[in-house]
Amino acid sequence: MNDAQDKLNPSDPETILDDAQQRRILDAIQREKEFSESLINSSFDGILAFDHDYRYTLWNPGMERITGLSAKDVLGRVAFELFPFLKETGEDRFFREALAGQTAIGNDRPFVIPQTGQQGFFEAHYSPLCNASGEVIGGLGIIRDITERSHANKALRDSESKYRMLMEYASDGIVLYDRQGLIIEANPELCEMLGYEREEVLGRTVTDFIDPADLAATPLRWDQLRDGKAVIGERLLLRKDGTTLCAELSARMISGGHVQTIVRDITSRKEAEEEIKRLNADLERRVIARTAQLEAANLELQKEIAERERLEAQKDEFIAVASHELRTPVSVIKGYTKMALRSVEESGDQRLTRNLRIVDEKTDQLTRLISELLDASMIEGESLPLKPERFDLVQLIRHMVSDIELTATEFSFAPELPQEPVYAEADRQRIEQVVTNLLSNAVKYTGRYADGKRLVEVRLQVENGMAITFVRDYGVGIPAEQQEKVFGRFFRADNVTNARYPYPGMGLGLFISYNIIERHGGRMWLDSAEGKGSTFYFSLPLADATDQ
């Protein structure tokens, strides 16, 4: 873990992690997280955590066993609202002390869980939960159900025989000593805990088994014991083999002036607490480092996006300027071609006439391409001008079909249009541009014959306040995986750009048409199958009936 951490240096802008390094780091973090979760989930004690709002953020299986409440019933809830007895017994001060950076211990605390009716006693150890910077971010509680032990203590006070039995079989260490600290009784659990035989413990003072440094730092509180108060705390005890263990002690004065102390080995618990704190701090450092890396990567991405946007804007500006600049020379070429064509037609030179007509046709094609480039540029810049007027869509479509029939003589268009006018409020020229584009595409790509002619179907119908127009061809169709891109700028399907279907075009017509219809509050869509043809639809809102 340390090797992975050393390689992750958020302050070094040259640090670049490859995928393998990132995986190793994430695996190490995952292993540490799983180990921490295992410690928490396998603990017989209850472990909880809370934030500065006293809302529970951790509730392990031990807490579920003690209270009968599952984590989903508790997490996110305010402790004192969920368990009113915490304030009634004064337990709330332990929460505040932990959030203030202090360690707090509560022993023999009675509880009744109102949600389940479960009742008993518990002892609690609260400590602050800090982040990597040492800032208190919450509190950590270790809770043990001592209902049985509390009953055992009562039994010890009530009956000597019961006391002896409990001394013998108690799961905690129990030691009894007099006012001078001389041990007069020690149960088997305590002897096993310290590694001594019972005879080696009796007659010695309790201070013989306390780490001298610990004892010097916190002397025994005899004054509190003499006043009848319980003394609860933690001590480092010395084992016979010279090692130490961390123990939680609960001492009180009993009848006869003797002191009874319950000793519990909490070494594993303390190690678990420290491990949780260490893992939390380490995870915090890793999150900070990873966040710094992601922020740096995001900054680079933003720079890249900004550069792309700048280049895109330059490209659109170039297209707009080039389109404007090309219009003038093309118009001049068109004019001179017309003049030359008239002269040649009068001279009767058929070959030159045919060549000039080709020049005239290509000039018209170039003019359309320039117009499409300019329209596309204005659409990208959201500056495409519209001049709405009220007009009859039936008349417009019939006129557009008639015009294309003059040049596409081998086609049958089979228009089906309403007998009554269908009025729209839109830019007539732009709608003509859309219809022309759809008819031209149908002529370009259709391949099915009807009565010896290629068939293109044109329909107009009214539905739910919208005029819906569609143009259907029986040509090459569009591959299913490319249909969602059809209305994109400069898009052309693969099957119309290869050698089998060498159809010319820049892929701007449908892009322009789609945006024109959307600007009018309508929509455009298609239904296509490769090899079977395509149907393009567009809808427009009907004009207000009061204006007719």
Question: Which class for 42: exposed (0-12), middle (13-18), buried (19 or more C-beta within 10 A)?
Answer: exposed
Phi, psi of 303 (to 5 degrees): -65, -40
Give the residue range(s) of CATH 3.30.450.20 domains in the chain.
2-146+273-290, 150-265
Pick the CATH number of 150-265 from 3.30.465.10, 3.30.450.20, 3.40.50.11260, 3.40.50.300: 3.30.450.20
Residue of 451, 470, 449 lying closest to 460 (CA atoms): 470
Q: Higher model confidence: residue 56 or residue 323?
A: 56
pTM: 0.40
Residue 518 has pLDDT above 60, yes or no: yes
Question: Is there a contact between 111 and 261 (Cβ–Cβ < 8 Å)?
Answer: no
DSSP letter at 182? Answer: B
pLDDT at site 232: 85
pLDDT grade for 253, boundaries at 50, 70 and 90: confident
> Residue 472 — left, alpha, or beta (φ > 0 → left; ψ -120 to 50 → alpha)?
beta
Give the residue range(s) of CATH 1.10.287 domains in the chain.
295-380
**CA gap 534, 475 in Å, rounded:** 7
Is the domain covering 388-547 a CATH 3.40.50.2300 domain? no
Q: What is the pLDDT of residues 51-73, one digit of tens each?
A: 999 999 999 998 888 888 899 98
Residue 227 has pLDDT above 90, yes or no: no
Side chain identity, residue 447: G
Give the residue range(s) of CATH 3.30.565.10 domains in the chain.
388-547
**CA gap 258, 178 in Å, rounded:** 5
Phi, psi of 236 (to 5 degrees): -95, 110
pLDDT at site 195: 92
CATH architecture of 295-380: Orthogonal Bundle (1.10)
CATH class of 2-146+273-290: alpha beta
pLDDT at site 6: 46
Q: What is the pLDDT of residues 112-167, one digit of tens each?
A: 677 777 777 778 889 998 888 889 999 998 888 777 776 666 655 665 555 667 67
